[in-house]
Amino acid sequence: MNPDSTDDVGAAVLARGVVEVWGWSRMTEGERQEGLDWLLSEPADAVSDMGGELIEALARGGRDLPAGALEATTSGIHRIAGLDVPFPVFDWNGIPLEDRLHNRHHVGLQAWPAFCDMPGLALHGRSVLVIAFGPVGRGVALHALALGALVSISELDRVRALAAQHHDCRVVALEEGL
């Protein structure tokens, strides 16, 4: 249901199968709320959320509650912090696997095809600036390098900056990179 990240082609493929889909790019806020209301009216054994919006609505609503939920974003964990959620919520974002595997490898792997497909651009020979060389930045930078980009890193931490250089990234001040 996120109009900023919904892949209309992927949603259409799911809709042709056995999955009910309520989400498309560029939905209005009213359409988003209508979709959330629809989700809240459906039975759910478990919820997998990205942003905590559905978990928050379930915690505030009086409908059949799931046995549990999974939240996969820092923003979602912050959204539901302090709420009296009447079912267990697994914090996927807080486990070592998220930081050591998902953030480092999968985010970059998924980010560049999405970024390149929309405008129809290739990265080969293009300059890319990645701000920070933590787990997510490292993954984004290394996948950009693999796609032929000229990657610069703006990183304040000296150890991470050195690691970036060892991966053939140019380390620059933020102003210079921009």
Q: Tell me the DSSP string of 83-151.
A: S--SS-EEEGGGSHHIIIIIIIIIHHHHHHHHHHHTTT---TT-EEEEE--SHHHHHHHHHHHHTT-EE
Average pLDDT over residues 10-20: 80
Split at pLDDT 50, 70, 90, the class of 41 is confident
% of the chain residues with pLDDT over 90: 34
Question: Which residue range is the domain that position 54 belongs to?
Answer: 8-94
Counting Cβ atoms within 10 Å, is residue 151 exposed (0-12), middle (13-18) or buried (19+)?
A: buried
Domain identity same for 16 and 68:
yes
Residue 89 main-chain phi, psi, to 5 deg: -125, 120
Domain identity same for 41 and 84:
yes
Is the full-model pTM beyond 0.75? no
Two tokens at 124? 């080969």
Domain identity same for 72 and 115:
no
Judged against a pLDDT cut of 70, whether residue 138 lies above it is answered with yes
Split at pLDDT 50, 70, 90, the class of 173 is very high
Average pLDDT over residues 61-80: 84
- Tell me whether residue 56 is in a domain: yes
- Give the chain's domain count: 2
Name the domain boundary from 94, 128, 151: 94
Domain identity same for 128 and 57:
no
Domain identity same for 81 and 19:
yes
Give 92 or 151, the one with higher predicted confidence. 151
- 3-state SS class at 25: coil
